[in-house]
């Protein structure tokens, strides 16, 4: 067999074996490569040459034979290429494929395919980082496909892509598909995509099996088995609940207005077809029938005063302007939240201004909730037009040698929010904490 202009000769004397005919009989021969790319067995056929690989600190630690800054101290481990890559001693069976400044500090069976400044944490094993930059595996059996500045902090958790995504310590089997600033903090939590979506909890497993498919600024808090399908700035606190921002039913008959009804088995149907159930009959006041039938009408009520109202059957209420009907309060419909994620990119979060958010509605701030990736201390102020709305005597969102905290607002200079107010987040002080999520709860008025 003739390769590369007759500079290499080989014969397949055994299936799957290449024999170099110019190899010296007896002893051990190295494959060498000269400056033109020709490969030889030992000797000096011509030109400069060097061996392709060399061992690291142990005979089973393999790394490129060139001055690239890569160091392999680990048994049965390999650095295949790149430069300034590093596998620490105490590791076994680990691999770095290529890239720059990637580091494996874990125990065994850790893998970094390429990219730059990716790393796995000491004391953990079985982590996988495919590519990207500044990704960090901090627990055993975690998976980061690619992206930038993603942190897998829960065992068996996965982040496929995106930027600044985070699975919290203890959030076993959690998953983030892509997007940015998404955070999974519970067992089996699932965030497919989006921006600043959060599955969080104040007690372990309180939000397990919950999902956010997409959208921005959505939060599931202490609600297990619940789902937010999309939209923006929704907060779900009820377990086993699906939040649908808007639901459009296709293929309805043309003309008319239809009501969605639910029977005792939970089946949803249109109008009078598809199951049992009845709509509410309204007798007093001005009743305008705009659709349905006489037994299952769609009714608009205007210019009417309703008192001592008794409602039975399947009732749909739209466009309510009153806060209460028969003593039933609708305040929960007005509760929402806004917030921010702060990340020190592996270092302690610095002080100073961290960004702004515009609130498009009128409301009153009622509570705050703050959580971090590890126990530490931080104080965050909220400002409007450069002036604190909390003031010197207010209880600012604070962690004090803790990982999470929450409180009702107290002593704030102003809790009232006007439509289109621009709120600034400012870090007054920070120690130890490298990443936090801050949620501000507000009731619309």
| Mean pLDDT, each 10-residue run in order, the chain (445 residues) | 40 47 53 57 46 56 61 79 84 88 86 94 87 94 95 93 93 94 94 95 90 95 94 93 81 64 62 42 45 55 53 53 47 78 93 94 94 94 93 92 94 94 95 94 88
In DSSP terms, 63 is beta-bridged to 54
Are residues 339 and 303 both part of a single domain?
no
Are residues 372 and 411 both part of a single domain?
yes
- Residue 247 in any domain: the answer is no
DSSP single-letter state for residue 334: G
Q: Are 314 and 261 contacting, i.e. CB atoms less than 8 angstroms apart?
A: yes
- Cα separation, 112 vs 127, in Å, equals 8
What pLDDT shows up at residue 123? Answer: 77
Q: Which of 47, 63, 79 is the last residue of a domain?
A: 47
What pLDDT shows up at residue 272? Answer: 43
Instruction: Give which of 114, 103, 109 is closest to 136, Cα–Cα.
Output: 103
Question: Looking at the 3D structure of the chain, how many domains does it have?
Answer: 3
- Residue 61 in any domain: the answer is no
What pLDDT shows up at residue 174? Answer: 94
- Cα separation, 371 vs 238, in Å, equals 20
- Residue 410 in any domain: the answer is yes
CATH classification at residue 429 = 2.60.120
Are residues 342 and 288 both part of a single domain?
no
- Residue 414 in any domain: the answer is yes
What pLDDT shows up at residue 3? Answer: 39
Taken in order 269, 272, 273, 278, the sign of the CA dihedral is positive
What pLDDT shows up at residue 81? Answer: 86
Residue where the block lists tokens 């397990």: 208
In DSSP terms, 96 is beta-bridged to 79, 112
What pLDDT shows up at residue 305? Answer: 54
Are residues 360 and 307 both part of a single domain?
no
What pLDDT shows up at residue 420? Answer: 93
- Residue 347 in any domain: the answer is yes
Q: Which pair of tokens denotes residue 409? A: 């607002």
Are residues 340 and 415 both part of a single domain?
yes
Buried b (16+ CB within 10 A) or exposed e, 358-381: ebeeebebebbbbbbbeebebbbb
Are residues 304 and 344 both part of a single domain?
no
Element (H, E) at 395: none
Q: For the residues of 302-320, what is the DSSP string, one character each?
A: -S----S----SB----S-
In DSSP terms, 441 is beta-bridged to 337, 367
Owning domain of residue 42: 2-47
Q: Which pair of tokens denotes residue 1? A: 């067999």
Q: Are 129 and 113 contacting, i.e. CB atoms less than 8 angstroms apart?
A: yes
Give the strand pairing for 268-270 and 421-431. Answer: unpaired
Integer distance in angstroms from the first to the last C-alpha of the chain? Answer: 84
- Residue 36 in any domain: the answer is yes
Are residues 282 and 369 both part of a single domain?
no
What pLDDT shows up at residue 317? Answer: 56
Taking the model in full, what pTM does it have?
0.50
- Cα separation, 120 vs 86, in Å, equals 11
Q: For the residues of 358-394, what is the DSSP string, one character each?
A: EE-S-EEEEEEEEEEEEEEEEEEEEEETTEESS-TTS
CA distances from 216 to 192, 293, 335 (A): 12, 40, 17
- Residue 38 in any domain: the answer is yes
Q: For the residues of 54-118, what is the DSSP string, one character each?
A: EE-SSTTEEEESSSSS-EE-SBTEEE-S-BS-EE-TT-BS-EE-S-BS-EE-SSBS-EE-S-BS-
- Residue 202 in any domain: the answer is no
Element (H, E) at 7: none
Query: In 3-state terms, what secondary structure has residue 220?
Result: strand
Are residues 343 and 310 both part of a single domain?
no
Are residues 291 and 351 both part of a single domain?
no
Residues 329, 331, 334: CA angle, nearest 5 degrees: 150
What pLDDT shows up at residue 329? Answer: 46
Q: Which pair of tokens denotes residue 442? A: 């507000």
Q: Which residues contact 184 (CB under 8 A, 6 or more apart)?
A: 154, 157, 166, 167, 168, 171, 174, 175, 176, 190, 191, 199
CA distances from 27 to 24, 30, 162, 435 (A): 8, 10, 52, 57
Are residues 439 and 338 both part of a single domain?
yes
């Amino acid at each position: 067999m003739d390769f590369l202009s007759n500079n290499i000769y080989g014969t397949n004397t055994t299936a799957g074996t290449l024999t170099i005919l110019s190899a010296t009989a007896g002893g051990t021969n190295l494959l060498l490569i000269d400056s033109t790319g020709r490969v030889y067995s030992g000797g000096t056929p011509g030109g400069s040459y060097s061996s392709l690989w060399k061992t690291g600190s142990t005979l089973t630690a393999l790394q490129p034979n060139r001055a690239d800054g890569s160091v392999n101290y680990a048994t049965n481990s390999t650095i295949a290429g790149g430069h300034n890559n590093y596998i620490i001693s105490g590791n076994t069976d680990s691999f770095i494929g290529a890239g720059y400044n990637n580091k494996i500090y874990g125990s065994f069976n850790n893998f970094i395919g390429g990219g730059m400044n990716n790393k796995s944490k000491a004391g953990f094993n079985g982590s996988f980082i495919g590519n990207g930059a500044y990704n960090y595996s901090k627990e055993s059996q975690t998976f980061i496909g690619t992206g930038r500045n993603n942190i897998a902090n829960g065992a068996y958790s996965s982040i496929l892509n995106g930027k600044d995504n985070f699975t919290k310590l203890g959030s076993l089997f959690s998953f983030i598909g892509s997007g940015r600033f998404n955070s999974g903090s519970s067992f089996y939590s699932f965030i497919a995509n989006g921006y600043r979506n959060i599955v969080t909890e104040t007690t372990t497993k309180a939000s397990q099996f919950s999902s956010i498919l997409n959208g921005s600024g959505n939060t599931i808090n202490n609600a297990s088995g619940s789902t937010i399908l999309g939209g923006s700035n929704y907060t779900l606190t009820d377990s086993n609940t699906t939040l649908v921002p808007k639901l459009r039913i296709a293929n309805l008959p043309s003309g008319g207005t239809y009501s969605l009804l639910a029977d005792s088995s939970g089946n949803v149907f249109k109008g009078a077809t598809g199951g049992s159930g009845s709509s509410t009959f309204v007798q007093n006041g001005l009743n305008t029938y705009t659709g349905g039938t006489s037994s299952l009408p769609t009714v608009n009520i205007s210019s009417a005063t309703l008192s001592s109202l008794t409602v039975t059957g399947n009732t749909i209420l739209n466009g309510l302007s009153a806060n209460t009907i028969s003593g039933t309060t609708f305040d929960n419909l007005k509760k929402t939240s806004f917030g921010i994620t702060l990340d020190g990119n592996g270092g302690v979060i610095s002080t100073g201004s961290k960004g702004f958010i515009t609130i498009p509605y009128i409301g009153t701030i009622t509570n705050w909730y703050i959580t971090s990736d590890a126990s530490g201390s931080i104080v965050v102020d909220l400002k409007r037009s450069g002036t604190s709305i909390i003031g010197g005597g207010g209880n600012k969102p604070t962690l004090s040698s803790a990982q999470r905290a929450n409180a009702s607002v107290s002593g704030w200079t102003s809790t009232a929010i006007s439509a289109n107010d621009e709120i600034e987040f400012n870090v007054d002080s920070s120690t130890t904490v490298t990443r936090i999520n801050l949620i501000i709860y507000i009731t619309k008025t």
